[in-house]
Amino acid sequence: MSTTDRGRFDGPRRLGVAAVVAALLAGLPAALLAVGAPAGAQGSITVTPNPVPVATNSYTEVQVRWSGQPAGKLIFASVCVKSSADPDFQVGVHCSPLAQVETNGTADGSGTALVPVFRSTEPTTDLPWGCFAAGDAVPAGVLGATTCYMRITNNLVLNNDDAVEVAITVTGAGNPVDRGVLGAPVAAAPAPVAPVAPAAPTPSGITTLAGVPIAFTG
């Protein structure tokens, strides 16, 4: 049988199978046909506060809560510029490694974490995007997104099949928990100054101050 012959044979055969499946499904109760959504969007996620008040060129931490994740799986929470549902989404391109938290899973698949949200260019400066408020000045060559995403996934940060997200925005002049610039070096605390020893009188009528003799009258 030639390739052409096989193709002609397979075509009617596939149509026959489709017809049989359609007939079987037609005889099933509607309740049995109501299946759940495909893999992905595991559970739910909330961010508090949202919109996020944070000063320009700074970041702050928000409370992220999730539920419905697989029990005991490592959890990753990340700030991303693009929705994980976008066909062009790539974790290494569209999520910030400096605005990411990794935490252990729980027995019931729920949890909470503090995750940094920035109002600036992406903090590594290696990625040409940032999260900004409407009206913010955006540097040339940078995608200034006024909507970013808090993304939760499990097991591996690259796991997009189970990812769930919520849109976040930044706004306002900031609040007392602003942390400065993500990735910036922390200034060292000043060295403590040793206290000056009190003056000690001597039998000769001379006292010393910081090792220097000083005459005094009694």
Kindly calculate the radius of gyration of the chain based on its CA atoms and give it in whole angstroms. Answer: 32
Alpha-carbon distance 55 to 118, whole Å? 9
CATH homologous superfamily for the domain 44-171? Neocarzinostatin-like (2.60.40.230)
**Bridge partners, residue 112, by sequence:** 65
How do the domains of the chain map onto residue ranges? Answer: 3-33, 44-171
Mean pLDDT per segment of 10 residues, for the chain of length 218 residues? 36 34 37 34 90 95 96 97 96 97 96 97 95 95 97 96 96 65 54 59 52 53
Whose tokens are 């499990």? That residue is 154
Phi, psi of 155 (to 5 degrees): 75, -60
Q: What pTM does this model have?
A: 0.65
Is residue 157 within 8 Å of 65, Cβ to Cβ?
Answer: no
The span from the CA of 56 to the CA of 36, in Å, is: 43
How far is residue 196 CA from its own chain's centroid? 50
Let me know: does 150 contact 45? Beta carbons within 8 Å: yes
Sheet of 95-103: strand order equals 95-103, 75-80, 148-154, 164-168
Q: What torsion, rounded to 10 degrees, do the Cα atoms 171, 174, 175, 177 define?
A: 100
The reported pLDDT for the residue numbered 42 is 74
State the Cα–Cα distance between residues 58 and 121, nearest whole angstrom: 10
What pLDDT, on the 0 to 100 scale, is given for residue 93? 97
pLDDT number for residue 117 = 98
